[in-house]
Amino acid sequence: MFQLLYLGREYPAGEEFFHKRLKAAFQKNAHLTDPKEIQKRIDLGDYVCKEIEAMYHINKYRAMKKRYYEDHHDQDLVQRQANIQSMADKA
């Protein structure tokens, strides 16, 4: 749970937005008493943690890529150029 709170500090829509949602999500399940059910929700929480981490990473990666890399650095393009070259060689 603390990891979720910690992750919220960097949430693009704001920490407050995140905290309200997070609290609501916890309160929704406050009535649960079955340990199995509770474990399921905890697992879901862990999953959400991973999702948010992945989102932060992709955000940062995209921002960097947009700022510092022209198209010709693009791996896809390199691959495509190689494909065209090999086709040209065959022809």
Partner 1 sequence: MSAPNVRVLVAVKRVVDYAAKIRVNSAGTAVETAGVKFSINPFDENSTEAAVQLKEKLEKEKKKVEVIAVSCGPNKAQETLRVALAMGADRAIHVDVGEKEELQPLAVAKVLKKIVEDEKPDLVLLGKQAIDDDSSQTGPMLAGLLNWPQASFASKIELAEADKTITVTREIDGGLETIKAPLPAIVTSDLRLNTPRYTSLPNIMKAKKKPLKVIKLADLGLDTKARFEVLKVSEPAKRSGGKIVESVDELLDKLKNEAKVL
Distance CA 90, CA 86 (A): 6
State yes or no: residue 35 binds partner 1 (CB under 8 A): no
State yes or no: residue 47 binds partner 1 (CB under 8 A): no
Could you tell me the end-to-end alpha-carbon distance of the chain, in angstroms, rounded to an integer?
61
Residue type, 64: M
| Count of all residues that appear for the chain in the document | 91
Residue choice 38, 78, 85, 86 for contact with partner 1 (CB under 8 A): 78
Region binding partner 1 by CB under 8 A among candidate stretches 3-11, 13-21, 30-38, 83-91: 3-11
State yes or no: residue 2 binds partner 1 (CB under 8 A): yes
